[in-house]
């Protein structure tokens, strides 16, 4: 049975964080999700993730169903938009959340900057 790869997990985390960014009742899970994004990017080859996202974004996924391919492309495009808006600079809200999740274990500013740098690298490739 095929399972989701790193690119799919990243897109899922991006959407999860985006859904909660403006929710005043958001819980601490959103910070964990933002930090998980950093872990996914640190532990994976960004070029490989970019390749998968490029294929999915252009509807060149391995499916016979055009509606499914279009839905995947739309979902990936939305995730890339959120990455640009909320994770591409160290002061962005998403990066700040990742830093907050790491506080006490790691320097929050370094975590935020690391996530922003990896997101920028990914965005440059897609």
* Residue 1 pLDDT exceeds 60: no
If DSSP codes are grouped into helix, strand and coil, which group holds residue 110? helix
This prediction's pTM = 0.89
**Structure confidence by residue, pLDDT tens digits, 77-115:** 999 999 999 999 999 999 999 999 998 899 999 999 999
Q: What is the pLDDT of residues 62-84, one digit of tens each?
A: 666 778 778 888 999 999 999 99
Residue ranges of domains in the chain = 6-125
For the stretch 6-61, pLDDT in tens is 999 999 999 999 998 888 777 677 889 999 999 999 999 999 999 999 988 886 66
In the block, residue with structure tokens 């907050």:
100
Q: Whole-angstrom Cα distance, residue 40 to residue 17?
A: 14
Helix (H, G, I), strand (E, B) or coil at 106: strand
Checking if the pLDDT of 3 tops 70, the result is no
């Amino acid at each position: 049975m095929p399972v989701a790869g790193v690119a799919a997990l990243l897109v899922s985390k991006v959407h999860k964080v985006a859904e909660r960014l403006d929710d005043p009742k958001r819980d601490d899970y959103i910070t964990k999700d933002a930090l998980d994004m950093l872990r996914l990017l640190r532990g994976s080859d960004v070029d490989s993730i970019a390749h998968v996202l490029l294929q999915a974004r252009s509807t060149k996924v391995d499916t016979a169903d055009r509606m499914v391919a279009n839905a995947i492309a739309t979902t990936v495009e939305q995730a890339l938009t959120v990455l640009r808006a909320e994770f591409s600079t160290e002061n962005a809200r998403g990066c700040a959340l990742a830093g907050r999740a790491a506080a006490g274990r790691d320097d929050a500013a370094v975590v935020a900057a690391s996530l922003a740098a990896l997101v920028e690298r990914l965005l440059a490739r897609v």
